[in-house]
Amino acid sequence: MVKYRHIPPTQFLKGFEAASRLENFSRAAEELGLTQSAISHQMRLLEGHIGQKLFLRSGREVRLTDAGRDYQRTVRRCLELMEEGYRRLEPYRKPGSVVIYAPRDFARRWLLHRLPSLRAAAPNCEPWLDTSGTPVDFETLEVDMAIVYADTPPEGRESLLIARDVLSPVATAERSARLRLPSDLLHATLVHDEHPLGWADWFRRAGIGANGTWTGTNFSDSDFALAAAELGQGVALGSMTLAAKALADGALKQLFDHVLETGRAWYAISTAERLADTDIRDTWNWLRAQA
């Protein structure tokens, strides 16, 4: 059996997308730089290829059939996906491109403001940050290095410890002024994220009995939790690594000395083959200096 035998030529799909969107073969032909007869001929071949009537024709105007409307959604989605795939290839065409996969919160809070330092240390490097959350596979993905949050770095990879993770309450200076004792947090508005460890663990670490009934907003993203704390919306149990710049800038203040060890850390990982490239190795050495 021939794989993908039901997929028509791409030029037919582009013609169909334009004709179905514009409901006019002449305007579709003009948009694509073809003649009206060429578009009309393509659509007849397309209908013959898939065995379905896609258009109802009335002079120069055309309307989609029910099957045509269904097929239009599929074709548009597929063409958009192919266009996106092409755009994603752009960094690979740039000399010095270094593709770095990183969790969104780490990229936003730790990596982003350090990029000028990377450009100064490795002037030929063209960094591309991917925060899509795609599982990293060096065998199948065009990825040069990745930042992972884990108990230990994965085996069989070159690894570099960037920072161990500890959590502590953070808030604006105004809000922190009203919280003198760790137990005061029992009555404060708390910000929550989906970290495996949370407020109950911190209270236990601080020796405070808590009933586990919390107020405040929940976020799936720790960057947003820290942003909410920066806006004065509550006290976040923030990662000291991710909150470091906000603490240094005065946007946040660490309320108490009690910290919660997570047992996890951020590691940079790569392969010996990738690190043989000069620009990738320079980026790796820069990460080592930052860590």
Residue 85 pLDDT: 82
Closest by CA to 192, choosing from 156, 234, 163, is 234
Do 168 and 227 have their domain in common? Answer: yes
Structural domain boundaries, residue 134: 96-291
CATH number of residue 25's parent domain: 1.10.10.10
Residues 142 and 251 in one domain: yes
The phi and psi torsions of 185 (rounded to 5 degrees) equal -65, -20
- Write down the pLDDT at residue 211: 74
Q: In 137-197, where does DSSP find H-type helix?
A: 173-176
The verdict on 222 and 243 lying in the same domain is yes
**Domain boundary pick from 88, 104, 131:** 88
Spell 219-250 as b/e; 16+ CB within 10 A means b. Answer: beebbbbbbbbbeebbbbbbbbbbbeebeeee
Q: What is the pLDDT of residue 209?
A: 85
66 and 110 belong to one structural domain: no
pTM of the model: 0.71
State the pLDDT at residue 84.
84
On whether both 120 and 184 belong to a single domain, the answer is yes
If asked whether residues 241 and 133 sit together in one domain, one would say yes
CB 118 within 8 A of CB 100: no
- Strands 126-130 and 97-101: what pairing? parallel
The whole-number pLDDT of residue 250 equals: 97
Residue 15 near residue 49 (C-beta atoms within 8 A): no
Residue 137's identity, in one-letter code, is D
- State the pLDDT at residue 104: 95
CA distances from 26 to 30, 35, 73, 102 (A): 6, 7, 22, 47
Q: Are residues 191 and 286 in the same domain?
A: yes
101 with 83, same domain: the answer is no
CA distance 170 to 126: 34
Other CB atoms within a 10 A radius of the CB of residue 21 amount to 14
- By the 10 Å C-beta count (0-12 exposed, 13-18 middle, 19+ buried), 141 is classed as middle
Per-residue pLDDT tens digits of the chain, which is 291 residues long = 567 888 899 999 999 999 999 999 999 999 999 999 999 999 999 999 999 999 998 776 789 999 999 999 999 999 999 988 877 776 666 667 899 999 999 999 999 999 999 999 999 888 989 998 888 888 877 889 999 999 999 899 999 999 999 999 999 999 999 999 999 999 899 999 999 999 999 999 988 887 766 778 999 999 999 999 999 999 999 999 999 999 999 999 999 998 999 999 999 999 999 999 999 999 999 999 999
Asked which of 53, 88, 123 is the last residue of a domain, the reply is: 88
